[in-house]
Amino acid sequence: MSLTITALSVGRVFGLHKPSVLYLRGWGETLDIPLIMFVIQGGGAPVIVDTGADLDRAVKHHGIRMEQTPEERPEAALRALGVDPAEVGVVVNTHLHWDHSSNNHLFPNARIVVQQREVDYASNPVPWHRRQFEHVPELEAAWRRAEDRIDAIDGDAEVAPGVSVIALPGHTPGSQGVVVEAETRRYLLAGDCIDLYENWAGDAQAEHIPSGFFTDIVAYNDSLERIEKLGCEVIPSHDPLVVRRREFR
Ligand SMILES: [Zn+2]
């Protein structure tokens, strides 16, 4: 299979507290990170993994500093790659946090693949997680704009030839990764199970470092161990180096 993955920046977030991305590390330090939409091409219809944020809602409701150039708007970034949003057959949300799932409605003909456990949790999160899922009274969650096209699944599944989702719970209950059999090797789009290359590389204290945000740290560890056994090159969800490299063949 000659699948390729392209990492498109669909916005950038500034001044994140480092321990929110690297568990209990980097107190007092901040990070600037990209929001990435991945496009898998070369099989049948293109597959999209994660759809980024909605700039207006992000600024108004999430109290963050975010920038999105006209070229970084998801439709524009896709069209520049020669992809019409209407031809996308499958959208995978690695999870339903607002910065990964706010533009599902831009893909009118896509089946939207999400874990059932994620839909359940996003509909009833603990109070400290409500903002991330936009489960708040003043706002209808952006992912619900395409809720009628969600295909809620349970566990691992092939979603297109050479493209499979695998359950990686921990960051959220229904977090999932996407394994892609590309031209030269097998890749894992890890979602927020692995935000940065630094999370995967670990440090002197730990082989890998979880995100600072999670619902189940024990399940999270199992997911990291599962990734070790996949034999994949890991592609993190928010690392600037991923955008710089852009193409994974
Ligand atoms: Zn997340």
pLDDT band at 56 (very low <50, low <70, confident <90, very high): confident
Ligand 1 centroid, distance to 209 Cα (angstroms): 15
pLDDT at 215 over 80: yes
Side chain identity at residue 130, one-letter code: R
Ligand 1 centroid, distance to 185 Cα (angstroms): 26
Contact 167, 219 (CB under 8 A): no
| pLDDT, greater one: 2 or 107 | 107
b/e string for 19-31 if b means 16 or more Cβ within 10 A?
Answer: bebbbebbeeeeb
| Distance between CA atoms of residues 194 and 185, nearest Å | 19
Instruction: Collect all residues with Cβ–Cβ distance below 8 Å to 13 and sequence separation of at least 6.
Output: 32, 33, 34, 35, 58, 64, 65, 66, 99
**What local confidence, expressed as pLDDT, does residue 60 receive?**
86
**What local confidence, expressed as pLDDT, does residue 1 receive?**
63
Ligand 1 centroid, distance to 191 Cα (angstroms): 7
State the average pLDDT over residues 25-36: 97
Ligand 1 centroid, distance to 247 Cα (angstroms): 23
Ligand 1 centroid, distance to 18 Cα (angstroms): 14
Span 139-153, pLDDT tens digits: 999 999 999 999 999
Contact 57, 6 (CB under 8 A): no
Ligand 1 centroid, distance to 65 Cα (angstroms): 17
Span 217-245, pLDDT tens digits: 999 999 999 999 999 999 999 999 999 99
Contact 44, 34 (CB under 8 A): no
Ligand 1 centroid, distance to 1 Cα (angstroms): 30
Ligand 1 centroid, distance to 174 Cα (angstroms): 11
Ligand 1 centroid, distance to 149 Cα (angstroms): 21
Span 153-207, pLDDT tens digits: 999 999 999 999 999 999 999 999 999 999 889 999 999 999 999 999 999 999 9
**What local confidence, expressed as pLDDT, does residue 99 receive?**
97
**What local confidence, expressed as pLDDT, does residue 63 receive?**
85
Ligand 1 centroid, distance to 172 Cα (angstroms): 7
Side chain identity at residue 105, one-letter code: H
Instruction: Collect all residues with Cβ–Cβ distance below 8 Å to 163 and sequence separation of at least 6.
Output: 3, 40, 43, 47, 90, 178, 179, 180, 181
Ligand 1 centroid, distance to 138 Cα (angstroms): 21
**What local confidence, expressed as pLDDT, does residue 193 receive?**
98
Span 88-120, pLDDT tens digits: 999 999 999 999 999 999 999 999 999 999 999
pLDDT band at 12 (very low <50, low <70, confident <90, very high): very high
**What local confidence, expressed as pLDDT, does residue 128 receive?**
95
**What local confidence, expressed as pLDDT, does residue 183 receive?**
86
